[in-house]
């Protein structure tokens, strides 16, 4: 693994320092590992301190989910069988979340929502110049920590207002069929590349980090993406 200690990092030239790190985050907003991955990404970007641009790419873990969503217990039973068998995994997620400042409250989640509307809001935020990473944080916090239904248009309008988007604009975009089709088309393109699980992080359009890897691993990948293949640093097996 690449050392992140200053003495072991490559010398930063003026040109490299001016370069912008591009990260495309492929994620679903009700994926707990995406929430952890987002926090680790933020820490990694803060550590490298250079200019960066993050773009969020939609992916639905449950594309056939009814518009009204599904009760949590019914969803877990349908997908995994006996929900009680998931209790150790949820406890482990809760433990890992605390290490990232995430407070999973699965007890507050009544329904698993269809996330298409949330992805449509993310697209609107990007087009509006709003902070999409901050919006993703609000959506994930709302769902995982407050138990909000992030498919509900009024809930999304309220969350959108926190990032400077007028409620009327949010509601209008959620009623726009062309926007819905644009998100579905973008997701279909992602699936055609072979992506079947999230989160994934495409760095500078050349290195794909698979899964919610550690902050250190992300920093390693950023080094390689910025300083090129001539680096003598290895690439993690989680990177393609």
Structure tokens at 47: 């550590």
Element (H, E) at 209: strand 207-210
pLDDT of residue 190: 96
Q: Are the C-beta atoms of 193 and 138 separated by less than 8 Å?
A: no
Instruction: Give per-residue pLDDT as tens, 203-236.
Output: 999 999 999 999 999 999 999 998 876 544 444 4
Q: How confident is the model at residue 87 (pLDDT cuts 50, 70, 90)?
A: very high
Residue that is written with structure tokens 């726009």 in the block? 176
Q: What is the mean pLDDT of residues 140-153?
A: 98
Q: Give all domains of the chain, ordered by start, each with its CATH number.
A: 6-227 (3.40.30.10)
Q: How far is CA 123 from CA 169, 179, 214, in A?
A: 12, 8, 27
d(CA 1, CA 138): 32
d(CA 224, CA 164): 35
Q: How confident is the model at residue 238 (pLDDT cuts 50, 70, 90)?
A: low
Whether this model's pTM surpasses 0.85 = yes
Residue 26 has pLDDT above 90, yes or no: yes
Provide the 10 A C-beta neighbour count for residue 13.
Answer: 10
Cβ neighbors of 120 (< 8 A, separation 6 or more) are: 173, 174, 179, 180, 183
Q: What is the mean pLDDT of residues 156-174?
A: 97
Residue that is written with structure tokens 């209790």 in the block? 87
d(CA 142, CA 135): 10
Long-range CB contacts for residues 226-231, cutoff 8 Å, separation at least 24: 226/16, 226/19, 226/21, 226/50, 227/10, 227/16, 231/10
d(CA 11, CA 180): 46
Q: What's the chain's length in residues?
A: 240
Residue that is written with structure tokens 């579905």 in the block? 184
Q: How confident is the model at residue 73 (pLDDT cuts 50, 70, 90)?
A: very high
Question: Interior CA angle at 88 toward 211 and 141, to 5°?
Answer: 55
pLDDT of residue 134: 98
pLDDT above 70 covers a percentage of the chain that reads 88
Q: How confident is the model at residue 239 (pLDDT cuts 50, 70, 90)?
A: low
Instruction: Give per-residue pLDDT as tens, 116-135.
Output: 999 999 999 999 999 999 99
pLDDT of residue 83: 85
**DSSP state at residue 59:** -
């Amino acid at each position: 693994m690449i050392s992140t200690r200053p003495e072991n990092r490559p010398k930063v030239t003026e040109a490299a320092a001016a370069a912008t790190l591009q990260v495309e985050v492929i994620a679903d907003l009700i994926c707990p590992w995406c929430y952890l991955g987002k926090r680790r990404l933020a820490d990694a970007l803060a550590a490298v301190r250079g200019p960066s641009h993050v773009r969020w790419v939609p992916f639905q873990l449950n594309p056939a989910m009814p518009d009204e969503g599904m009760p949590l217990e019914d969803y877990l039973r349908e997908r995994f069988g006996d929900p009680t068998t998931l209790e150790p995994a949820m406890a482990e997620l809760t433990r890992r979340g605390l290490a990232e400042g995430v407070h999973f409250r699965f007890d507050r989640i009544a329904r698993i929502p269809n996330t298409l509307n949330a992805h449509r809001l993310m697209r609107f935020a990007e087009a509006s110049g709003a902070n999409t990473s901050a919006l993703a944080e609000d959506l994930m916090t709302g769902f995982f920590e407050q138990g909000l239904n992030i498919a509900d248009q009024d809930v999304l309008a309220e969350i959108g207002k926190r990032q400077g988007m007028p409620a009327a604009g949010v509601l209008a975009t959620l009623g726009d069929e062309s926007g819905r089709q644009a998100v579905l088309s973008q997701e279909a393109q992602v699936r055609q590349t072979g992506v079947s699980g999230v989160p994934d992080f495409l760095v500078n359009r050349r290195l794909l980090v698979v899964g919610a890897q550690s902050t250190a691993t992300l920093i390693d990948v950023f080094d390689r993406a910025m300083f090129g293949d001539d680096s003598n640093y290895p690439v993690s097996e989680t990177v393609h």
